[in-house]
Structure 1
């Protein structure tokens, strides 16, 4: 079966390469039969990759330990849901999963292409998609460490299973949206290259890729948020983002994609920033590839990467081809990409989007340099010793000092842009629109100074959240009130009517509101968290940050695959029992290091987060963390998802662009 899978990959590679040649030559020579055969080869390659994926999935569920990949990541006692996740648990499987997603999305575009404009782009679009597919297939066919169909010389009776830290629902729901986001950005990139080759560089190609860009951005963002949640509940350190280079590898294309998502609105509305849009999507796609390279190579020091040494010779040339080819083509077609309009006023939506882009691209560049500083500093240490630079990684505090202020300015722009008009906005209208949000922000600041924390960051950051939320709520209220008066419907139906009439605008506003909630959770849990290390004898209690914790004792459990030690604590507030928490330490068969399972009590106000550190027969040590407002991050992520889906859904109106 493994040999069949490998042969299928070879056939898929041959089909993809033939498709590229037939599509390009057939289109250039206007040879319909050759071009049509290229299209069929495209679909054949997609089908063959799906067959290869099906073979690997079958082997995983059949526990076919002849497959080296299956024996490395599965066990016979694993539940089906975790067996499903084994497909993307390792380097080789995740590559196949990624290329399978690219073929699925690419096939959907090719099959659904109906309009004449899109049909003209299809041959070159398909060739670019197949070029990306061929790259991954070459990697899996010719690089032994990247093949999911390697065979064990001696078939083991049992597999290793997943790393115990991956024994979490996060393994099911975190990687797929990330990979959908990575694969999805191939679609707008391929359309951009096709538009440049065919000189179809009007605003139509931008409108064509809007939904694909939004879907990719949304899935990548959801993958990041779910990854934050997974780190928070599983890793046992109480945080959710460590600025690890591999974490950053998904953040960078998301930031660049955010910039692109905003500037295509300007091109659709005003015909501006055409060259910049090409640059942004090329960089976004390249960062998706680069993130995969970071995650798999030995370039960086990270707890997440595979540290494979032979991938440089595949990824670096491919990224060089993408960048040199794309920007060379952009330079060659630059005269077709002249802006149709100019910036009319500094106080306009266009200006806010432009500032948004500068900050997003700047923050991406900073994160890129800081993430690669381990590699950069190592090169300087080896080759330019006279600079006295030592090889080192960048601490999270340095990221916070440099990147967070940029994010705060971006956050302020979210609040400002909602009341900015296209072309220009009068200062009188601006003052009138921002008066109420400014009063709300000032009120929050005063209340915090009187009742709550008086640190400067509390008196700055939470009022900023209040300002951004107030601008969006005020805009929504005004427009709902106008519809209420005009249509004679109640406010609930007025709001629903607004959403249906312009899904991109109001979905986007909902996304912004979700970002406010996410920011509140990040600020509260990062700035006002507390941590105490306590020792509790069996039967004793202690009050920590208003929670009375009574330690009942330990219990242990032996299962076929795990040994589990559980501590039980009663949690009381004001003498009233509000729950029991059971932090654990787990040892899995075949793995030496135990895994910490934290216990969390979540409310809208804060999380009580308890870690079992050490114990003996008489007492146990616990780390007790109180993390304010954490749940608002996850609520904010849900609101972002809802808003993104509303914006993604086809709008009823035929618009020139989106607001």
Structure 2
């Protein structure tokens, strides 16, 4: 028996335990049998322990170069740096599914242990739902796509990672993005628990809100890290191309964004109960759909895996999720009606509702454009691709509308206000937006009128948030006679959900600045240069110095060096653009983009080595590309100037800070939390 077999055995044992635990927890809660509820809770821990053992075994197989394991041989080599073992772990299909399952198990343990005495009527159903999801992934990993399958022989070396995955960004982007997918399972489980138990008030909302917020932030961070990786590695000058895999990752983030706003409406006004449950179901279903698209390979993408046999399993599971959850929802519809209504358009709940409709519009347009190739192939036997122009033209106006609503939301109160109050709140932000739009229009010229308008909307958002905070800050100073620092901290702490959300709004506004700058004002050209020759692009001049090879262990880099100068000849920076040839992947060289952010303009100089002369003296020797010594070579470069992209990346810390502030528990929530004990339902903490 090989060590790797221990991982396979752990998965095989975990599968029936997950099924047993799900059944025990659900039946125990339904029939008030404490012993079964105990079994369900213990099953969550047992499955997590077994999956953790399987993950450790697979990591050990990578660390020991056990190339008898097919997955290890396909994803690693002896020359691969040790730091990339984690990237190899989730770099292929089976390993990424094991990581998905491991993250789900850890979140499941946290979910059932976080407040064991707060929601005893819900937690058994939560455990049952999570265990069913775990059982599905165990089924796939144990019987369909095992990461522990052994080869009939042991090769001397493995193939190694795909060259695109050698970038250090792979240590962050995939695990964060997958964790974001996984995190949708916990709010979904709470929603299913509410529907199954009949506890349809705000209890599940209060239990799930922070899970929704945390998962939303993780998935959003995964999307940003993915954009950063694409920008630095793929070499096409951008960070978002409406690729199918990018789109399916965006979909659950959009519905989760809508959910965060509509949950606030339910907490405050008791509205949108059916809508919120529908959004929770949709968010989890879209997470499974995204996993299905990437893992099945049904849609071509630079990010997706090759077509495999697991696609039908995911499709069937997605159908089961929708069937069961929607059946429960329809069965509870009579009890979900709310007597409250949106009383006026001049209210925050009306703004949030409009925000939801626009977000769902973007979600539907993105979903439709993503799956349209499959629909066209099924109907007309011709796969019609939908490109970036469709998404830009359809989603662009909707996203601009969302920015406008983001500015309006903080200016209107709950339940509405008179027109005089509304106008008093709007005057300064509107003035600020107009001033910014005019200043931007003067700076960029009439040809970029739309960009100036978007900058004006961003100014409207920033001034509106600043005005709200200033009023609260001054009010705190006057009420407590406190100093500026004390008043600043007090306002943040007492109203952390509100101002954490406003910080997130500011971060989104910052990201919008980056998107507008790099979309409307990008410069691009392709040029071939001899050593010593220069080219100009915008306010910059680039001088090509030469090209050389840099051999390394398992990789050879071909590096072209350039100097970047201002128009008056002042040296700004030196750039090194590379193409890297990894052993076993010589036919698929990886791009290493040269990027330098130039202050104070915040322009990104972005240079891609597209090719070079290959004289007859050049040869490939023992898998290495050899350049003739002493012979100057012309090189071809793809050069971009991307204004303000740095603002996009710099907005991420503000996004995280705002999310963390909003996520910080609010003492007031304890007042709203309902008593969760019910006669005949075993207390989860005592089970």
TM-score scaled to structure 2, two decimals? 0.92
Q: CA deviation at 1:277?
A: 0.7
Q: Which residue of 2 aligns with 1:588?
A: 582
Q: Which residue of 2 aligns with 1:386?
A: none
Q: CA deviation at 1:625?
A: 0.7
58-67 or 93-102: bigger deviation:
58-67
Q: Deviations over 1:506-540 (max 9, x none)?
A: 11000000000000000100111001222322123
Q: Which residue of 2 aligns with 1:426?
A: 418
Q: Which residue of 2 aligns with 1:495?
A: 488
Alignment check: 8 A CA contact 1:562 1:589 kept:
yes
Q: Which residue of 2 aligns with 1:527?
A: 520
**Whole-angstrom CA distance in 2 between matches of 1:313 and 1:601:** 45
Q: CA deviation at 1:501?
A: 0.8
Q: CA deviation at 1:471?
A: 0.9
**Whole-angstrom CA distance in 1 between matches of 2:670 and 2:572:** 53
The reply to whether residue 130 of structure 1 matches residue 116 of structure 2 is no
Q: Which residue of 2 aligns with 1:53?
A: 55
Q: Structure 1 residues 522 and 200, CA, compared in 2 at 3 Å: closer, same or farther? A: same
31, 55, 76: which one aligns with 1:29: 31
Query: What does 1:132-281 align with in structure 2 at a 5 Å threshold?
Result: 132-143=133-144, 146-281=145-280
**Whole-angstrom CA distance in 1 between matches of 2:68 and 2:476:** 65
**Whole-angstrom CA distance in 1 between matches of 2:452 and 2:671:** 41
- Give 3-state SS (helix, strand or coil) of 1:214's partner: helix
Moved over 3 A (4+): 652-658
Q: Which residue of 1 aligns with 2:606?
A: 609
Alignment check: 8 A CA contact 2:537 2:641 kept:
no
Q: Which residue of 2 aligns with 1:351?
A: 350
The reply to whether residue 5 of structure 1 matches residue 2 of structure 2 is no
The reply to whether residue 392 of structure 1 matches residue 384 of structure 2 is yes
Q: Deviations over 1:112-143 (max 9, x none)?
A: 33334x11111111000000000111111221
**Whole-angstrom CA distance in 1 between matches of 2:672 and 2:574:** 53
114, 130, 134: which one aligns with 1:112: 114
Query: What does 1:292-441 align with in structure 2 at a 5 Å threshold?
Result: 292-382=291-381, 390-441=382-433
Q: Which residue of 2 aligns with 1:516?
A: 509
Q: Structure 1 residues 655 and 463, CA, compared in 2 at 3 Å: closer, same or farther? A: farther
Alignment check: 8 A CA contact 1:268 1:656 kept:
no
- Give 3-state SS (helix, strand or coil) of 1:418's partner: helix
448, 452, 456: which one aligns with 2:444: 452
**Whole-angstrom CA distance in 2 between matches of 1:164 and 1:318:** 33
Q: Which residue of 1 aligns with 2:677?
A: none
**Whole-angstrom CA distance in 2 between matches of 1:178 and 1:298:** 18
Q: Deviations over 1:271-308 (max 9, x none)?
A: 11111111000010000000000001142122222132
Q: Which residue of 1 aligns with 2:646?
A: 631
- Give 3-state SS (helix, strand or coil) of 2:411's partner: coil
Q: Structure 1 residues 7 and 451, CA, compared in 2 at 3 Å: closer, same or farther? A: closer
23, 31, 46: which one aligns with 1:44: 46
Q: Structure 1 residues 26 and 444, CA, compared in 2 at 3 Å: closer, same or farther? A: closer
Alignment check: 8 A CA contact 1:218 1:644 kept:
yes
**Whole-angstrom CA distance in 2 between matches of 1:166 and 1:590:** 14
Alignment check: 8 A CA contact 1:184 1:216 kept:
yes
Q: Deviations over 1:568-590 (max 9, x none)?
A: 11222232222110111111110
Q: Deviations over 1:219-256 (max 9, x none)?
A: 00000011001101111110111101111111000000
**Whole-angstrom CA distance in 2 between matches of 1:247 and 1:516:** 21
Q: Structure 1 residues 449 and 298, CA, compared in 2 at 3 Å: closer, same or farther? A: closer
Alignment check: 8 A CA contact 1:500 1:652 kept:
no
Alignment check: 8 A CA contact 1:502 1:653 kept:
no
Q: CA deviation at 1:440?
A: 1.6
RMSD of aligned residue pairs (Cα, Å): 1.6
**Whole-angstrom CA distance in 2 between matches of 1:452 and 1:202:** 52
525, 541, 545: which one aligns with 2:538: 545
Q: CA deviation at 1:456?
A: 2.0
**Whole-angstrom CA distance in 1 between matches of 2:473 and 2:254:** 31
**Whole-angstrom CA distance in 1 between matches of 2:115 and 2:441:** 58
Q: Structure 1 residues 442 and 29, CA, compared in 2 at 3 Å: closer, same or farther? A: closer
Q: Which residue of 1 aligns with 2:655?
A: 640
Equivalences, count: 648
Alignment check: 8 A CA contact 1:269 1:657 kept:
no
665, 673, 684: which one aligns with 1:650: 665
642-651 or 531-540: bigger deviation:
531-540
The reply to whether residue 598 of structure 1 matches residue 563 of structure 2 is no
**Whole-angstrom CA distance in 2 between matches of 1:8 and 1:111:** 23
Q: CA deviation at 1:618?
A: 4.0
Q: Which residue of 1 aligns with 2:95?
A: 93
- Give 3-state SS (helix, strand or coil) of 1:372's partner: helix
The reply to whether residue 575 of structure 1 matches residue 569 of structure 2 is yes
Alignment check: 8 A CA contact 2:597 2:603 kept:
yes
- Any gaps of 5 or more consecutive residues in structure 2? 614-631, 674-687
Alignment check: 8 A CA contact 1:10 1:141 kept:
yes
- Give 3-state SS (helix, strand or coil) of 2:561's partner: strand
Q: Structure 1 residues 449 and 17, CA, compared in 2 at 3 Å: closer, same or farther? A: closer
Structure with higher RCO (Cα < 8 A, 6+ apart): 2
Q: CA deviation at 1:86?
A: 1.3
Q: CA deviation at 1:410?
A: 0.7
- Give 3-state SS (helix, strand or coil) of 1:601's partner: strand
- Any gaps of 5 or more consecutive residues in structure 1? 383-389
Q: Deviations over 1:18-72 (max 9, x none)?
A: 1012222222332222322222222211111111111111111121112111111
Q: Which residue of 2 aligns with 1:385?
A: none
534-543 or 314-323: bigger deviation:
534-543
73, 82, 85: which one aligns with 2:84: 82
**Whole-angstrom CA distance in 2 between matches of 1:354 and 1:449:** 32
**Whole-angstrom CA distance in 1 between matches of 2:154 and 2:422:** 72
Alignment check: 8 A CA contact 1:500 1:651 kept:
no
Q: Structure 1 residues 543 and 237, CA, compared in 2 at 3 Å: closer, same or farther? A: same
Q: CA deviation at 1:340?
A: 4.6
Q: CA deviation at 1:445?
A: 2.2
547, 551, 554: which one aligns with 1:561: 554
- Give 3-state SS (helix, strand or coil) of 1:583's partner: strand
Alignment check: 8 A CA contact 2:181 2:219 kept:
yes
Q: Structure 1 residues 540 and 559, CA, compared in 2 at 3 Å: closer, same or farther? A: same
Q: Deviations over 1:433-466 (max 9, x none)?
A: 1111211222122223333332221221111111
- Give 3-state SS (helix, strand or coil) of 2:343's partner: coil
**Whole-angstrom CA distance in 1 between matches of 2:580 and 2:403:** 41
Q: CA deviation at 1:657?
A: 7.7
